[in-house]
Amino acid sequence: MSAKHLSPEMLNQRRLEAVRLRLDGLTVASTAKRTGLSAPTVSAAWKAFREGGWQAVPVRPRGRHKGNTQTLGESEREYLWQRISRWPANNSPGWTSRELAEALSDETGQKVSQRAVEHWLEARNLKPAPMSLETATKRSRKGRWLHQQVQPVLERVRSLGGTHWLGGVRVVTNSNDRQAPCYQLYVHGKHGVLHTCRFATPPKAKDYIELFKRLAEQGPTALIFHGAFFKASAEITTWLEQHTDFQLLGVPPNSKL
């Protein structure tokens, strides 16, 4: 297969493999044949390795960085920034990129694609990756927690026709941004769709409870949450005791989900 349309990650893997084969003593031609790369690419990877070591072998990312393009004007960006600082008017547990794009179109008349909003979120470091619940082995600490504590709750909620969400709170800093760090409350729902809100100060108990209420309105809910120490908050503990169909599962510290 031609390597012309490989993703940068795959191309880099093959370039590293090519260097390993060259170190094993294979010729450029046979390395090219085995890796599916062209002979000039194998030579280029080999030259990069000799001049800069392993770290010089991968190619630099191609094209512009996502979010660098100015598809959104200053006023649109400011609008989005203000918007995500308050809860959506509907009962959504935070703004999705689609809701933000629609709100922007409705209120300013400016047609903006959902993808442009996603790029803007990414550029502002407001697009956290969803937690991964699949990768832990049963014997690891994380795996034991998932199998013994999370799965029974998820199964119970599913049997009641409910849904589960993955969420968290975090401090958002952006090296390209001159503004002070802010705080992001977010949940990932079905298909990993991000719902988010931004806060200038650390979220208070009422902010978390607002999120929980919005999630609980959709029926029995399990929320796997990372980044807050809820045990210390009497308000949240009381709310959780009163809402037994809402299951909150705190991610154990340092579990790297």
Partner 1 sequence: MTTLTHLQRLEAESIQIMREVVAESENPVMLYSVGKDSAVMLHLARKAFAPSPPPFPLLHVDTRWKFRAMYEFRDRMAEEASMDLLVHINPEGIEKDINPFTHGSAIHTDVMKTEGLKQAMDKYGFDAAFGGARRDEEKSRAKERVFSFRTAQHRWDPKNQRPELWKVFNTFKHKGESIRVFPLSNWTELDIWQYIYLQNIPIVPLYYSAERPVVERDGALIMVDDERMPLEPGEVPMMRKVRFRTLGCYPLTGAVESEADTLPAIIQEMLLTRTSERQGRVIDHDSAASMEKKKQEGYF
In contact, 84 and 100? CB cutoff 8 Å:
yes
β-bridge partners, 23: none
For residues 7 and 59, give the distance between their C-alpha atoms in angstroms, rounded to a whole number: 11
Closest separation in Å from C-beta 145 to partner 1: 14
Residue closer to partner 1, measured from CB, 1 or 234? 234
Residue closer to partner 1, measured from CB, 65 or 204? 204
Residue closer to partner 1, measured from CB, 20 or 170? 170
Q: Under the rule (CB under 8 A), what is the footprint of partner 1?
A: 169, 171, 183, 202-206, 208, 226-230, 232-233, 235-236, 253-254
Closest separation in Å from C-beta 46 to partner 1: 31
Residue closer to partner 1, measured from CB, 79 or 239? 239
Closest separation in Å from C-beta 230 to partner 1: 7
Sort strands 221-226 and 182-188 into parallel, antiparallel or unpaired.
Answer: unpaired
In contact, 226 and 253? CB cutoff 8 Å:
no
Torsional sign, CA 154, 227, 177, 78 = positive
Closest separation in Å from C-beta 184 to partner 1: 11
For residues 247 and 250, give the distance between their C-alpha atoms in angstroms, rounded to a whole number: 10
- How much is the CA Rg of the chain, to the nearest whole Å? 23
Residue closer to partner 1, measured from CB, 19 or 169? 169
Closest separation in Å from C-beta 203 to partner 1: 7
In contact, 104 and 76? CB cutoff 8 Å:
yes
E strand or H helix at 98: helix 97-108
